[in-house]
């Protein structure tokens, strides 16, 4: 069950009570071998939320994205999308048709004078693909170039929800800053993102989900607010444990009398 922890960060400008639920997860469990990555997790994604997903490597971040995007069903439980919802998913690997060109992938093969008339398309191409010729076949691109093409394609597809797994890989500092601004200005702002770039998470996210030990804990605010709230939770838990141990010592002392 996802547990929400408040922080001292200001609440995001939209009213959560008015936002439509887009994706809902009920008691989802997913295992891998002998490990349980998600154990009876229940959570929801509402319109307008920008959620950063954090956790240690191997704890289930990508698995959570997979069940949210319906690319992998949970072993038990249920995942539902609102009717007609379009979800764009940037995987850690792409599945381009080998003979496709960059132009085919990002602008459906349209000529420059057609796609360049759209300001958003022009911004994405100019910032992500400055060194990639649009008529090159994707099979001839480097891993970093393919990654940029995949990111450009998902940004331009007009999805209601974006789910991005490590979008900042292979990007330099200037492009990461551009991407943060671009995502913040999208008309359809709903976003889930896994990233090891803490600045990026703090710049774009309204909420943080921490995946650990089969559970997902939700925190309001960006990455900095999450760090502060998590530290407070750890402090409170340590105090509770200290009191529990002290009580046990007193009970043992009483039993020995």
Q: Which domain holds residue 206?
A: 3-86+158-226
Least confident of 45-54, 92-101, 126-135, 165-174: 92-101
Q: Would residue 127 count as lying in a domain? A: no
pLDDT digits (tens, 9 = 90+) for 110-125: 888 888 888 999 999 9
pLDDT digits (tens, 9 = 90+) for 173-187: 999 999 999 999 887
Q: Would residue 172 count as lying in a domain? A: yes
Work out how many domains the chain is built from and give that number: 1
Task: Please say if the pLDDT value at position 75 is more than 80.
Answer: yes
- 230 φ, ψ (degrees, to nearest 5): -65, -40
Q: What is the CATH number of the domain that holds 40?
A: 3.40.50.300
Q: Would residue 141 count as lying in a domain? A: no
């Amino acid at each position: 069950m996802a547990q929400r922890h408040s922080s001292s960060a200001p609440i995001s400008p939209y009213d959560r009570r008015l936002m439509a639920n887009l994706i809902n997860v009920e008691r989802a469990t997913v295992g891998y071998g002998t490990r349980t990555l998600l154990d009876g997790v229940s959570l929801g994604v509402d319109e307008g939320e920008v959620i950063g997903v954090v956790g240690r490597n191997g704890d289930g971040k990508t698995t959570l994205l997979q069940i949210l995007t319906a690319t992998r069903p949970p072993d038990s439980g249920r995942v539902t999308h609102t009717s007609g919802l379009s979800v764009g998913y940037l995987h850690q690997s792409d599945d381009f048709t080998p003979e496709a060109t960059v132009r085919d992938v990002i602008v459906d093969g349209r000529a420059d004078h057609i796609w360049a008339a759209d300001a958003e398309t022009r911004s994405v191409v100019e910032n992500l693909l400055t060194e990639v010729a649009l008529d090159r076949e994707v099979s001839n691109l480097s891993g970093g170039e393919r990654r940029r093409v995949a990111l450009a394609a998902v940004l331009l597809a007009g999805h209601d929800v974006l789910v991005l797994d490590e979008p900042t890989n292979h990007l330099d500092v200037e492009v990461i800053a551009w991407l943060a601004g671009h995502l913040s200005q999208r008309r359809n702002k709903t976003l889930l993102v896994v990233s090891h770039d803490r600045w990026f998470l703090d710049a774009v996210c309204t909420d943080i989900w921490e995946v650990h030990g089969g559970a997902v804990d939700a925190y309001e605010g960006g990455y900095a607010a999450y760090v502060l709230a998590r530290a407070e939770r750890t402090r409170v838990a340590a105090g509770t444990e200290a009191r529990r141990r002290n009580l046990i010592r007193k009970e043992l002392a009483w039993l020995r009398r």
